[in-house]
Amino acid sequence: MASTVADVAKMIDHSLLRPELTNEDVRAGCDLAARYAVASVCVKPCDVALAATRLDGTGVSTGTVIGFPHGSSSARIKAAEARTAVSDGARELDMVLNIGRLRGGDDEAVLDDIRAVVEAAPGTVVKVIFENAYLSDAEKIRACRLSEQAGVAYVKTSTGFAPGGATLADIRLMRANVSERVKVKAAGGVRTLDVLLEMSAAGAARFGATATAAILDDLSGRLARTGVATVRGDLSTDRRMGPDR
């Protein structure tokens, strides 16, 4: 498999979720995302309309978060958030499942929670955030199966706001416990090209990142130094292209 800078860019959701970001910060982040032609920009719910307007015609989707960052809103509120986000222009939704219900073994409540968002936003890409830092492997496996049963497009490791983020072990575990129909998104700690490439090789298809420009500029530089246009293999890093960071 060969991948260009454009291919890798389309694996990135540029994250604009920090609470202190202003409207001008959001506009600048959207402009960066459009310049690099990433898959989407993930903004706070209050910024969806602004981002959708800014990204109109760029080919970059607008995404937002639901029940963020703790997943503790009721299913009814999460569904209402989803409907509002879609109305404002969101085309991708990253929802946090109810972590406490999952840990407590209430699978029916977890399934209903995820399904409420999927059904509230037909035709929208729904990603379920597990927040793996708080879960056992058995709980992560149950979350995978419940998410797929609810009809989501992606399962996602983390919000980026918990004590831990994406790990290779979690990527492999999640990839092994959903069908090929469901993809895996890594978030939390994906700050370098080498980390992205390694996690891609482990099974992640999408990445939440704030270091988008650094990652893609690094890839462009490595390819330029080798005189080739693509990264070959399972997107795994070639150590001849540069040192780890």
pTM for the model: 0.92
Segments making up each domain of the chain, as ranges? 2-241
Catalytic residues: 94, 156, 185
pLDDT of residue 245: 25
pLDDT of residue 226: 82
pLDDT of residue 231: 64
DSSP-based three-state secondary structure for 92: strand
Residue 110's φ and ψ, nearest 5 degrees, are -65, -45
Q: What is the pLDDT along the chain (245 residues), one digit of tens a residue?
A: 447 999 999 999 999 999 999 999 999 999 999 999 999 999 999 999 999 999 999 999 999 999 999 999 999 999 999 999 999 999 999 999 999 999 999 999 999 999 999 999 999 999 999 999 999 999 999 999 999 999 999 999 999 999 999 999 999 999 999 999 999 999 999 999 999 999 999 999 999 999 999 999 999 999 998 877 666 544 443 333 332 22
Type of residue found at 218: D
pLDDT of residue 229: 66
Type of residue found at 193: L
Closest CA to 202 of 235, 159, 231: 235
Q: What is the CA radius of gyration of the chain?
A: 17
Could you tell me which CATH class the domain 2-241 is placed in?
alpha beta
